[in-house]
Amino acid sequence: MYFIVVKYQVKPEYAETFVERNAEFTAATRAEPGNLWFEWSRSVEDPNEFVLVEAFADDDAASAHVNSEHFPKGLETMRPMLVRTPRIVSRKVGGSGWDEMGELKIEA
């Protein structure tokens, strides 16, 4: 699977509406057949930083995402709200989803 984490530094005037303004892009990406997850979070240390954790099933799914009709629209929606170019980690990794953390097992 392709596992991707992107950090977006948002202009302060857009911080409260950033996720909402990207709702169409988020919904379209989540509807892609090869999308495993597409989850927004907000930094607890910097209220103007948003983190996107996303994953795609395989090479074809990742390629379909960046070549989709909604991908360039989503980027153009974000562009005026950003302070700088987003920072990204994008790697092909083994597995197909989340595993349990072995070091912190919770027994019922």
Q: Among candidates 46, 28, 38, 44, which has minimal Cα distance to 83?
A: 46
Number of structural domains (the chain) is 1
Q: Of 36, 39, 23, nearest to 74 (Cα)?
A: 23
Domain presence at residue 70: yes
Is residue 80 a part of any domain in this protein? yes
Transcribe 70-82 into DSSP letters.
HHHHHHHHHGGGB
What CATH number does residue 6 fall under?
Answer: 3.30.70.100
- The two structure tokens encoding residue 49: 């930083």
In this predicted model, what pLDDT tens digit does every residue of 8-20 receive, in sequence order?
999 999 999 999 9
Within a domain: 101: no
Q: Is residue 107 part of a domain?
A: no
Task: Express each pLDDT in 54-95 by its tens digit.
Answer: 999 999 999 999 999 999 999 999 999 999 999 999 999 999
Q: What is the pTM of this model?
A: 0.94
